[in-house]
Amino acid sequence: MRVATGKVMGGKIVLEGEPWEEGTMVTVLAPDDEATVELSPEEEEELLEAIAEADAGDFISGEQVLRELRGRR
pLDDT by residue (tens digit) across 42-51? 999 999 999 8
What's the domain count of the chain?
A: 1
In a domain, 27, yes or no: yes
Q: How far apart, in whole angstroms, are the C-alpha atoms of residue 66 and residue 12?
A: 32
pLDDT more than 90, % of the chain: 22
44 in a structural domain: yes
pLDDT bucket at 1, cuts 50 / 70 / 90 = low
DSSP per-residue string spanning 14-28: EE-SSPPPTT-----
pTM assigned to the model: 0.43
HSE-CB at 67 with a 13 A cutoff on CA atoms is: 5
Higher-confidence position of 54 and 31 = 54
Domain that holds residue 63: 6-71
Inside any domain, residue 1: no
Give a yes or no: residue 67 inside a domain: yes
Decide if 35 is inside a domain: yes
